Amino acid sequence: MITLADRFRRHARMMPDGLYRTLLLAMAEDWQSGGVVAEICRDWAAAPGSAVVQLRLLAGIQRLVLSGAEPRLAVYYPNLGGTAAPDGAWQDFEPVLRRHVGELRAALAIAPQTNEPGRSVPLLLGLFDAVRRSGLPSVRLLELGASAGLNLLVDEFFIAGDGWSYGPATSPLWLVDAVDGPVTPVPFAVVQRRGCDLAPVDVSTAEGRLWLTSFVWPHHLHRHVRLRAALAIAESRPVVVDQASASSWLASVLEPPAADGVLTVVWHSITRQYWPVEEIAATAWVLGTARSRMPIAHIAMESPVFQNDRSEGEPEYRPAELTVQLSVPGGLADPEPVLLGTVADHGVPVRLATSP
Ligand SMILES: C[S@@+](CC[C@H](N)C(=O)[O-])C[C@H]1O[C@@H](n2cnc3c(N)ncnc32)[C@H](O)[C@@H]1O
């Protein structure tokens, strides 16, 4: 039987030396010896690996630091300018966890809200593919599990690679040299954009911005820069993210007929692993029935490991897959999702299997 301690250690092995690796190893020990980590995680011992309990806990701890509730720990967080060596950090963290057991238990209840703007790169490649093959450049963009909806702003970011670019070069967010493979941009216009999430984050509030920041690993300074740039864009371009589950929201949005000549794009990234199996099946059913009624592209960046494997065994890590399934009534209909490439967890780099 795989324990939480095994999962913490396994995740630590994938981390470079630094605060999170040290904390994950210390938390594994603490869980095993029945310490405060066992108390905080007591309802999560049987959770599947796809729930990534450790990310929920680390974000909860980071929130205590970002909010100023536990300022002494800031010295360990590179994103807050901290330079203290992490060796021995656990002796400073352990009493903090003890002081905030209730808060950290509550933190575990919400799936990681890593709203990663880097995932706009695979979204864009999927859009190029769907617009090119459908010949429909007017796009209605719908995102499932959108968190704060930052990736709905894909056309506000400057995304570029070898000999190609898309988006305004004046954008505060540049995502460059992040695709391994040839790309031919295809013009499109987003005529409508909207998302849903079980727990949407409102980034017009300081609390919402802090919440998203807490899920970015402290040593990933480039991702903190990326998030701040996306948040600056979202300030002047707010997007609507409805509070709803993926399947119920999608059913209601797709029920009325789509406007003529518009390509409906349903997109999601690193969210399906948190859905119950019924949610996965219901969403697939809603998408399947919409295919005969409107031009629709389903673009996904999801883990192939967690998609079908909900067993207790721990599957080997594999990168996320970028897939597109396009249907145009009376025209082409992909019988299966088409694999465009593989993607690192935070959206970049993308390794193309084919040229979009
Ligand atoms: C890791 S975040 C990814 C956010 C965004 N897709 C991205 O890639 O930046 C996972 C998101 O899925 C949401 N989520 C989990 N289960 C859901 C469900 N059944 N329906 C809708 N959203 C869900 C969570 O609340 C969370 O915001």
With bands split at pLDDT 50, 70 and 90, how would you rate the model's confidence at 317? Answer: confident
Q: Are residues 90 and 131 in the same domain?
A: no
Ligand 1 surroundings by CB, under 6 angstroms: 111-116, 119, 144-147, 151, 196-199, 245-246, 269-271, 274-275, 279
pLDDT at 355 over 70: no
HEC readout, 177-206: CCEECCCCCCCCEEEEEEEEECCCCCCCCH
Q: Indicate the number of domains in the chain.
A: 2
- Nearest partner of 159 among 131, 216, 221, 117, judged by Cα: 117
Q: Are residues 174 and 286 in the same domain?
A: yes
Q: Which of residues 58, 88, 107 is at a domain's end? A: 107
- pLDDT tens figures, 64-84: 999 999 999 999 999 999 999
Q: What percent of the chain has pLDDT over 90?
A: 92
Residue 143 φ/ψ, nearest 5 degrees:
-115, 130
Whole-number pLDDT of residue 356: 47
Compute the distance between CA of residue 313 and CA of residue 311 in angstroms, rounded to an integer. 5
Q: Is the residue at 209 inside a domain?
A: no
Contact 320, 304 (CB under 8 A): yes
Q: For strand 338-343 and strand 296-302, is the pairing parallel, antiparallel, or unpaired? A: unpaired
Q: E-strand spans in 240-344?
A: 241-243, 262-269, 296-302, 320-327, 338-343
Query: If you average pLDDT over residues 102-127, what whole number do you get?
Result: 97
The distance between the two most distant Cα atoms of the chain, rounded to a whole number of Å, is 65
Q: Are residues 80 and 28 in the same domain?
A: yes
Compute the distance between CA of residue 322 and CA of residue 341 in angstroms, rounded to an integer. 5
With bands split at pLDDT 50, 70 and 90, how would you rate the model's confidence at 314? Answer: low
Query: If you average pLDDT over residues 35-51, what whole number do you get?
Result: 95
Whole-number pLDDT of residue 136: 98
Q: What is the dihedral of CA 252, 324, 184, 168, to 10 degrees?
A: 30
Q: Is the residue at 112 inside a domain?
A: no
Whole-number pLDDT of residue 336: 96
Q: Which of residues 107, 141, 168 is at a domain's end? A: 107
- pLDDT tens figures, 167-208: 999 999 999 999 999 999 999 999 999 999 999 999 999 999
CA–centroid distance, residue 272 to ligand 1 (Å): 7
Length of the chain: 356
Compute the distance between CA of residue 332 and CA of residue 313 in angstroms, rounded to an integer. 39
Q: Are residues 160 and 305 in the same domain?
A: yes
Whole-number pLDDT of residue 318: 87
Whole-number pLDDT of residue 313: 60
Q: Are residues 121 and 103 in the same domain?
A: no
pLDDT at 349 over 50: yes
Query: If you average pLDDT over residues 46-57, what whole number do you get?
Result: 93
Q: Are residues 58 and 166 in the same domain?
A: no
Whole-number pLDDT of residue 311: 47
Residue 180 φ/ψ, nearest 5 degrees:
-100, 100
Crossing angle of helices 221-236 and 206-214, rounded to 10°: 150
Q: Is the residue at 273 inside a domain?
A: yes
Q: Are residues 30 and 141 in the same domain?
A: no
pLDDT at 309 over 80: no
Whole-number pLDDT of residue 316: 77
- pTM for this one? 0.94
pLDDT at 148 over 90: yes
Q: Are residues 70 and 134 in the same domain?
A: no
DSSP state of 311: S
Q: Are residues 140 and 277 in the same domain?
A: yes
Q: Which atom of ligand 1 is nearest to the CA of 276?
A: 19
Q: Which of 175, 274, 322 to mutate to test the pocket of ligand 1 (most atoms within 8 A of CB)?
A: 274
Q: Is the residue at 256 inside a domain?
A: yes
- Nearest partner of 319 among 269, 280, 275, judged by Cα: 269
Q: Are residues 188 and 126 in the same domain?
A: yes
Contact 215, 208 (CB under 8 A): no
Q: Are residues 140 and 164 in the same domain?
A: yes
Q: Are residues 168 and 289 in the same domain?
A: yes
Compute the distance between CA of residue 35 and CA of residue 244 in angstroms, rounded to an integer. 36
Whole-number pLDDT of residue 354: 60
CATH number at residue 247: 3.40.50
Residue nearest to atom 8 of ligand 1 (CA): 269
CA–centroid distance, residue 112 to ligand 1 (Å): 7
Residues 6+ apart with CB under 8 A from 59: 107, 112, 113, 214, 215
Identify the domain containing residue 77 by its residue range. Answer: 4-107
Q: Is the residue at 291 inside a domain?
A: yes
- Nearest partner of 264 among 206, 322, 328, 337, judged by Cα: 328
Q: Is the residue at 232 inside a domain?
A: no
Compute the distance between CA of residue 209 and CA of residue 228 in angstroms, rounded to an integer. 9
Report the mean per-residue pLDDT for the chain: 95
Query: If you average pLDDT over residues 226-247, what whole number do you get?
Result: 97
pLDDT at 95 over 60: yes
Q: What percent of the chain has pLDDT over 70?
A: 96
Whole-number pLDDT of residue 156: 98
Q: Which of 50, 198, 275 to mutate to test the pocket of ligand 1 (most atoms within 8 A of CB)?
A: 198
CA–centroid distance, residue 268 to ligand 1 (Å): 8
Among 49-58, 108-117, 304-313, which stretch is predicted with the lowest mean pLDDT? 304-313
